[in-house]
Amino acid sequence: MTGARRIMVAMSGGVDSSVAAALLRDAGHDVVGVTLKLWGGESDNGCCSISDVNDARRVADHLGIEHHTFNFEDDFEAHVIAPYVAAHEAGRTPNPCIECNRHIKFARLAERADALGFASIATGHHARVVVDPRNGVRRIARGVDVAKDQSYVLAMLDQRRLAGLELPIGELTKTRVREIAADIGLRTAQKPDSQDVCFITSVEKRSGFLSNRMAFTPGTVVDSEGTELGAVDSVELVTIGQRRGLHLAGGGAPRYVLDTDVAARTVTVGARRDLLCSTTQVDGVVWSAEPSWGPLDVQTRAHGSAESARLDDDGDGCATITWDAPHLRVAPGQTVAFYLDDLVLGSGTAA
């Protein structure tokens, strides 16, 4: 980074965003910390609790930078909570944190930063922004710390959003981030990482949250030939590939969820090999820059690894992934990220 700029840092109250703000301050930039108030209900994990807001404010005070809180609860309800519930009602398995990134942190927040005259926004994600010297195209790349890499959850960002984005800790390991935080006396130095969806408490869990917002559909568990094996209280809470929580009789080989059908009130189970497929259909395809059809690598989980495949354009934002080797079926609603080596090319959603 060259030249001092006015940068808005999204501070979640965790160690990563705390160190991101510190590094930008030390580089001579005019840094302002912002914490987003997204969820008005109970929260005991994730990044929306009152203690997280307080941690962010105290870190900002320690660093000697301004701190503000923006209330985006209405946007969060419209773009994250409502689609999350609707996806479950349709029998899909959504990624709410990715939708929060797409609509709130890298859209709504970026718009607010632009309106307030900030040159850039920054976050504490373990990923990098790289620029192609030939044409100035910016892309997300994997973070240096492979075990903490978060490029997958940023795979929806296009050139407009990448133009004003800084990821200061992408070149650091998590161990080094904590060392820096400890060296400058940040209260978040040893704070555990957030692991869960911020609006799902550890007490009520997903079932409790959804039960207050939708009606559950009891269903029958069957094998691929239609033989009844058991029952579930809610088809909407079952996901492709699930093994536990089906309350099936013990004995025999493990059985996995192969399909769910809310309308038919059925959950189909079978052997793990029955989950293998040669193709995956995706919709909502977006690219960081120009489309990159053909051979590439595809990652289907935040902490998974990318696998070789071919991506073919089906039109209207839809595509077909043809796997080089048989691949476990991807639950509808899950994000799939497209890579070329360490560079993110784009993403889509399993149909």
Domain positions in the chain: 6-124+168-183, 216-270, 275-350
- SS3 category, 142: strand
Superfamily the domain 6-124+168-183 falls into: HUPs (3.40.50.620)
Higher pLDDT, 104 or 253: 104
The token pair that represents 20 in the structure block: 């991101």
Q: Do domains 216-270 and 275-350 have the same CATH topology?
A: no
Average pLDDT over residues 90-100: 96
How confident is the model at residue 71, as a pLDDT?
A: 94
Residue-level pLDDT at 249: 79
What average pLDDT does the structure give for the chain?
94
Is the pLDDT assigned to residue 2 strictly greater than 60? Answer: no
**What pLDDT shows up at residue 198?**
86
- Could you tell me which of 112, 110, 88, 114 has the C-alpha nearest to residue 101? 110
Task: Say if residues 122 and 164 touch (Cβ distance below 8 Å).
Answer: no
Q: What does the DSSP 8-state code read for residue 301?
A: S
Average pLDDT over residues 197-210: 91
pLDDT at 8: 98
Which candidate, 72, 59, 74, places its Cα nearest to that of 124?
Answer: 59
**Stretch 9-17: mean pLDDT, rounded?**
96
pLDDT at position 83 is 98
The residue ranking higher by pLDDT, 197 or 172, is: 172
User: Which tokens in the block code for residue 75?
Assistant: 């946007």
Q: Which among 207, 209, 196 has a CA at the least distance from the CA of 42? A: 209
User: Is 277 one of the annotated active-site residues of the chain?
Assistant: no
What fold, for 275-350? Elongation Factor Tu (Ef-tu); domain 3 (2.40.30)
Say whether pLDDT at 114 is over 60: yes
Flag whether pLDDT at 4 surpasses 50.
yes
pLDDT at 43 over 80: no
Residue 197: the pLDDT is 86
Q: Is 97 one of the annotated active-site residues of the chain?
A: no
pLDDT for res 1: 44
Active-site entry in 48, 198, 277, 318: 198
Cα maximum dimension of the chain? 68
Instruction: Among 186-190, 199-203, 273-277, name the one with the lowest average pLDDT.
Output: 199-203
Q: What's the residue count for the chain? A: 351
User: What kind of fold does domain 216-270 have according to CATH?
Assistant: SH3 type barrels. (2.30.30)
- Structure tokens that stand for 319 in this block: 């595509």
Active site residue: 97, 100, 277, 318, which one? 100
